[in-house]
Structure formats: C-alpha cells, structure tokens
C-alpha cells in the first residue's frame, strides 16, 4: 500500500537527474557563433533573410519566436511556412522556387534537406540550418553554411530539445552578438507549448523552461495567452497544453494552413487573437469530424498483427488515426492516404515494438521513409502495398505478447485515508507531468455510494472505503456501475467545489 512518504520518494527519484537548473550555454551548440555572425552581417548589409518553418506546433512556435525577435530591429525579413499538401515538409527544392533571399534560416527542419542545400549553394544563397531532428549520420549532413542542432553538438549536454528551443538559443546567441536588449524570457510562454506539443521529455532543462513558461502563460502577458486564458477560464497545466491547446494549434496545419496558428501566436491585439483562437477551435472541430468519419470507414482485419489501412483519407490526420488504432487494438498501425503517385502515410507503435526498424527493413519497396521507434512516415507505390502488408505482418511476429503494451504509470494501490490536500500538494510539487515525467496514477477499491449523471455519459460519484468518503468523476462511461468497483485513477482538484476529487480513468 502506498503512503504519502512513499509517493514523494518515488516521484523525487524521477526528478533527481533533472535538478540541474542552469540552462546549458548557447555556445555549446556547434556552429551557433558562425551562424549568428552571418546573420549579424546580413542585418548590417540589409540582406533579405527568410526563415523557413514547419506546420506543426513546434515549427509554428519556432517561426513565431523568430518573427517576434527580429521585428524589433529588422524588417527585411520574412517567415515562410510550407503548405503541408502542396509543398510538403521542410526546405525542399519545390519550396525554394518561391523564396527570394540572400540568407535562409530553417527552424525545426532542414537536417535532411540535402537537395535544397545544394540548390542554395548554386544560387549563392547562404543557408543556416537549425533543427533538432536526428541527422542521417553526423558525417553525412547537408552542405550548409552552418548547422545548429543539439544532435550534431557533442558538447551540448541534453539532446532532447525541440526545434523552438534551438531557435530560441539562436536568438540568445544573436542577442549576445548584436548587443540587443530583448528579454528572451518573453518567449517562454509559447516555447513551453512547443516543448510539450513535440513530446519532449519534461526533464532536465525542459522541466525548467516549461515551469517558467507555464507561469508566464497563465499570467496572460500576450494577446495569444490572454485569448487561451479567456477561453478556458482556469489555470493551465502541462496536460491542458498537451490535450487542449496543442491540438487546436496543430489543426491549422492539418486541415487549413499553419499560417493561421502563426498569426494567432504573433498577434498584437487581444480581440484579434481571440477571434483567431475561435477560428482555430472551429478548425479543430472540423479535424475531429474528419477523423471520426475515417474511423467509421476503416475496416480492420483482426487477425493481422500489424495493422496497415489505406484509403482516400485526408493527409493531415493519418498520424492521429494511426495512434487511435494503436490504442484501440493494441497493435502497431500504419494509415496511408491515396496520392497521385501511390500512397503516403504515417505509422505509430506501442510498447517495445520498433516500428522504424521494421519499416526500414522494407526500404527496398518504399519511395521514402523516416521516423523513430514509436512513429514513422512513409511513401510507396501502389503495386508495393500488398508486399508491405505481408512483410510487416511477418516481421511483427518476432515480438512476444508482452512487447505489446500501452505505457501506463500506475504507482500502486492507494488507500482513501492517504488522499487529502497534503497529498495533492505533494503531487503538485513534481509538475509538470508529461513525457519523461508521467502523471502518477493509482488503483483502489471502493463502494459506489451515489451516482450523479453530469451530462451524456459523464458521471460524478461518491465513493467510500471504510469510513472515508471521496468524490470522483468518470468520463465517457457507457456501462452500469457495480456496487463495488476496482479502478485506476489520478488525483485532481475541483476548483468549483474546492475539493479533492478522483479522476477515474478505467474501471478494472
Ligand atoms: Mn519539432
């Protein structure tokens, strides 16, 4: 049985390795001084600088930080965010066709832009790549003027930072080089959104930055953060960013254009920001609708060990659909959307199953692929689809039953008498929770004393264990309640009633 002391011990063990509060210095990133000197020269010579971003939250935040940083002192400057559907990801030869620049800086992309780097060289455009993605190999990098990436910087102590953090570091180096007086803490609110949205571990420097950033976000110091606060009307935590804020910002790039999220983040006016936020909210509802329709259409062959589904699906949501399938069927899944040239899609994995390795082993029948252990992207010709399905279903057989699990972080059984405001305070100390520092969950058995239907299939309960009574909530529950239940839960606080409540995740 757990006690408060034991919980505190478990959680502080997780945190220990990350108590280094001093951020690594920017100069530990390779090439950053070379890059900032080149940018300084561009500013002095009034050269045209173009920043190329990305359409996901990390890419849009990176672009916004660059925009807000530069607009204070330089105007021959432009942000270009590619269109997911027309131009695809990153700095590509196609995107270069519409860029006129003397100096190009990529943010959150570029580490695999070999072709584009070559074209830049031919055209006499200097290219500075800033990225956090893993390079093909450290001796096979695009031929750029400078490459700033923690993963190509042996001296940088922490590799798991997002693209926006690299961009933020570039601003720090520039501030130093050009003796500017911009306060870089100003960007921490949006930076924390990028760290969480890009699923970076909330340890080490990320934990420090996210804690500071969330405080700023909640103080609503900018029109964008004021709009978010006005919409949710509560203290926003890392989980709210992950499940409420990030999906709305991402929706722009998925079903419309990421420039909407960009305009929202850089907005200088409260009313405009709030209007853009409502627009993002509407687009996110549309995204959910598209997703629901696809999920209803999909037919799964339950005998497959590796799910591969294809169809005329909206390209922007295939990754989300893949992760829904993984959660529903507890199997790795790839969802492909039909294109003019064949199929293009995304895969997601679970447990110990390395999806990237399996896809890489099929590279002879793929037109392109990339990713990591838990997620991948791929392209293939129509005629190879059948082979891909066969191969992946064969390869997945090497894994044992225990390799297929959805990660869960149940600390143990927690008696009701330990659940009080002091426990809630202890749990709060170790925030923010998320990747690398998962939110603690517990199990308990209790008697259901009272059931109150909140709305649809959401309920409020009163539970008892010996002579302790506690309120609880459960969402999306479609069955009947037994008199005694065993359940998995997290500990929350109901601001409205000012009381501790259990958030039931699953009845066991
Ligand atoms: Mn990123």
Q: Is the pLDDT of residue 251 over 80?
A: yes
The rounded distance, in Å, linking the Cα atoms of 153 and 156 is 6
Query: pLDDT digits over 301-332, tens only?
Result: 889 999 999 999 988 889 989 989 998 899 99
Structure tokens at 38: 């080149």
The secondary structure element, H or E, covering residue 407 is: none
Q: How far apart are CA 182 and CA 380, in angstroms?
A: 47
Q: CA-to-CA distance for 188 and 68, rounded, in angstroms? A: 12
Residues of the chain with pLDDT > 90, as a percent, come to: 72
Beta-bridged to residue 442, according to DSSP, are: 412, 489
State the pairing for strand pair 375-380/410-413: unpaired
Is 56:250 a contact under the CB 8 Å cutoff?
Answer: yes
Return the CA Rg of the chain. Answer: 24
198 DSSP assignment: T
The band of 163, judged by pLDDT with boundaries at 50, 70 and 90, is very high
Whole-number Å distance, alpha carbon 163 to ligand 1 midpoint, is 5
- DSSP labels, 207-253: HHHHHHHHHHHHTT-SHHHHHHHHHH-S---HHHIIIIIHHHHHHHH
Please tell me the predicted confidence (pLDDT) of residue 14: 67
List pLDDT tens digits, range 34-55: 999 999 999 999 999 999 999 9
Q: Which residues pair with 308 in a beta bridge?
A: 334
- Assess contact for 57 and 110: CB atoms under 8 A: no
Q: Residue 85 CA to chain centroid, in angstroms?
A: 20
What whole-number distance in Å separates Cα of residue 491 and Cα of residue 354?
Answer: 33
CA of 278 to the centre of ligand 1 (A): 25
Bridge partner residues of 460 (DSSP): 452, 473
Helix or strand or coil: residue 60?
A: helix
| Range of 268-277, 399-408, 458-467, 490-499 with top mean pLDDT | 268-277
Q: Which residue has the tokens 């002091």?
A: 422
For residue 497, which phi and psi values (nearest 5 degrees)? Answer: -95, -5
- Expressed in percent and rounded to 5, the helix, strand and coil fractions of the chain are 45, 20, 35
- Measured between alpha carbons, how far is 270 from 254 in angstroms, rounded to an integer? 25
The pLDDT tens digits of the residues spanning 75-106 come to 999 999 999 888 888 999 999 999 999 999 99
d(CA 348, CA 354): 10
Question: Where in the chain is CATH 3.10.310.30?
Answer: 298-403
pLDDT digits (tens, 9 = 90+) for 434-482: 887 889 999 999 999 999 999 888 999 999 999 899 999 999 888 888 9
Residue intervals in the chain for CATH 3.90.1640.30: 20-266
How close is the Cα of 328 to the center of ligand 1, in Å? 26
User: How many whole angstroms separate alpha carbon 307 and alpha carbon 332?
Assistant: 6
- Picking from 480, 474, 481, 476, the residue whose alpha carbon sits closest to that of residue 457 is 476
Centre of ligand 1 from the C-alpha of residue 313, in Å = 24
Task: Please name the residues in contact with 103: beta carbons below 8 A apart, sequence gap of 6 or more.
Answer: 38, 39, 42, 47, 48, 49, 50, 125, 126, 127, 128
The pTM for the full model equals 0.85
How many Å lie between the centroid of ligand 1 and the Cα of residue 198? Answer: 6
Q: Are 199 and 165 in contact (CB under 8 A)?
A: no
Distance CA 383, CA 439 (A): 45
In the reported structure, the alpha carbon of residue 451 is separated from the centroid of ligand 1 by a whole-number distance in angstroms of 44
User: What's the gap in Å between 342 CA and the centre of ligand 1?
Assistant: 27
pLDDT of residue 214: 95
Q: Within 10 Å of residue 268's Cβ, how many Cβ atoms?
A: 11
For residue 119, the CA-to-ligand 1 centroid distance in Å is 24
SS3 483: coil
pLDDT of residue 447: 94
Q: Does the 410-507 domain belong in CATH 3.30.540.10?
A: no
Does residue 189 register a pLDDT over 90? yes
Contact 437, 425 (CB under 8 A): no
Residue 20: pLDDT over 60:
no
pLDDT at 239 over 80: yes
Ligand 1 geometric centre to CA of 496 (Å): 36
**413 Cα–ligand 1 center, Å:** 37
Q: Measure 90 CA to ligand 1 centroid, in angstroms.
A: 11
Averaged confidence pLDDT in the chain: 92
Question: Which residue intervals of the chain bear CATH 2.40.50.460?
Answer: 410-507
58 CA from centroid of ligand 1 (Å): 5
Q: What are phi and psi of 248, to 5 degrees?
A: -70, -40
User: By C-alpha distance, which of 117, 135, 115, 133 is closest to 58?
Assistant: 133
For residue 135, how far is its CA from the centre of ligand 1 (angstroms)?
A: 13
- Average pLDDT estimate for 351-376: 89
Give the three-state DSSP class for 369.
strand
CA of 432 to the centre of ligand 1 (A): 20
Distance 131 CA to ligand 1 centre (A): 8
How many C-beta neighbours within 10 Å does residue 310 have? 20
406 exposure class (CB count in 10 Å sphere: 0-12, 13-18, 19+): exposed
Per-residue pLDDT band for 167 (boundaries 50, 70, 90) equals: very high
- Bridge-based pairing state of the strands 343-348 and 333-338: antiparallel
Report the SS3 class of residue 105. Answer: strand
Count CB-CB contacts under 10 A for residue 426: 17
So what's the architecture of 298-403 in CATH? Roll (3.10)
Ligand 1 midpoint to CA 108 (Å):
5
Tens digits of residue pLDDT in 64-82? 999 999 999 999 999 999 9
Please determine, looking at this structure, whether the domain spanning 20-266 carries the CATH number 3.30.390.30: no
Distance 193 CA to ligand 1 centre (A): 12
Average pLDDT (191-204) is 92
pLDDT for 443 equals 93
CA 224 to chain CA centroid, Å, is: 19
The alpha carbon of 94 and the centre of ligand 1 are apart by a number of angstroms equal to 21
pLDDT at residue 428 above 50? yes
162 alpha carbon – ligand 1 mean position (Å): 5
Distance 346 CA to ligand 1 centre (A): 16
């Amino acid at each position: 049985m757990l006690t408060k002391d034991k919980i505190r011990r478990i959680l502080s063990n997780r945190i220990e390795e990350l108590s280094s509060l001093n951020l690594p210095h920017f100069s530990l990133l390779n090439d950053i001084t070379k890059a900032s000197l080149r940018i300084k020269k561009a500013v002095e010579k009034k050269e045209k600088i173009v920043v190329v971003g990305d359409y996901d939250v990390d890419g849009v935040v990176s672009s916004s930080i660059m925009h807000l940083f530069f607009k204070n002192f330089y105007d021959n400057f432009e942000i270009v965010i590619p269109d997911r559907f027309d131009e695809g990801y990153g700095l590509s030869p196609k995107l270069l066709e519409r860029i006129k620049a003397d100096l190009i800086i990529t943010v959150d992309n570029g580490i695999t832009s070999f072709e584009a780097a070559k074209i830049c060289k031919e055209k006499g455009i200097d290219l500075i790549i800033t990225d956090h993605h893993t390079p093909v190999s450290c001796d096979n990098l695009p031929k750029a003027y400078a490459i700033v990436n923690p993963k190509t910087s042996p001296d940088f102590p922490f590799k798991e930072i997002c693209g926006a953090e690299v961009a933020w570091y570039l601003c720090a180096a520039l501030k130093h080089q050009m003796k500017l007086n911009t306060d870089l803490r100003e960007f921490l609110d949006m930076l924390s959104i990028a760290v969480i949205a890009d699923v970076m571990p909330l340890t080490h420097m990320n934990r420090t930055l996210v804690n500071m950033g969330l405080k700023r976000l909640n103080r609503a110091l900018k029109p964008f953060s004021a709009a978010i606060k006005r919409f949710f009307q509560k203290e926003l935590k890392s989980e709210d960013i992950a499940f409420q804020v990030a999906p709305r910002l991402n929706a722009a790039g998925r079903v419309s254009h990421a420039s909407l999220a960009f305009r929202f983040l850089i907005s200088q006016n409260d009313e405009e920001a709030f209007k853009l936020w409502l627009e993002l909210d509407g687009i996110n509802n549309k995204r959910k609708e598209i997703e629901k329709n696809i999920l209803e259409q999909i037919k799964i062959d339950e005998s497959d060990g590796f799910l591969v589904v294809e169809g005329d699906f909206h390209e922007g949501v295939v990754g989300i659909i893949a992760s829904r399938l993984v959660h529903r069927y507890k199997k790795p899944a790839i969802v492909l959307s039909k294109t003019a040239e064949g199929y293009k899609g995304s895969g997601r994995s679970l447990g110990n199953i390395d999806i990237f390795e399996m896809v890489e082993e099929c590279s002879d029948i793929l037109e392109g692929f990339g990713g990591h252990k838990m997620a991948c992207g791929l392209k293939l010709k129509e005629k190879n689809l059948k082979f891909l399905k066969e191969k992946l279903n064969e390869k997945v057989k090497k894994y044992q039953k225990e390799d297929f699990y959805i990660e869960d972080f149940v600390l143990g059984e927690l008696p009701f008498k330990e659940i009080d405001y002091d426990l809630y305070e202890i749990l709060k100390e170790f925030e923010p929770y998320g990747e690398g520092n998962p939110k603690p969950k517990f199990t308990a058995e209790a008697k259901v004393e009272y059931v109150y239907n909140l709305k649809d299939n959401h309920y409020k309960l009163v539970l008892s264990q010996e002579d302790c009574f506690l309120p609880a909530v459960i969402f999306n529950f479609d069955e009947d309640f037994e008199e005694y239940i065993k359940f998995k839960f997290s500990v929350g606080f109901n601001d409205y009633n000012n009381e501790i409540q259990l958030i039931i995740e699953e009845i066991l």
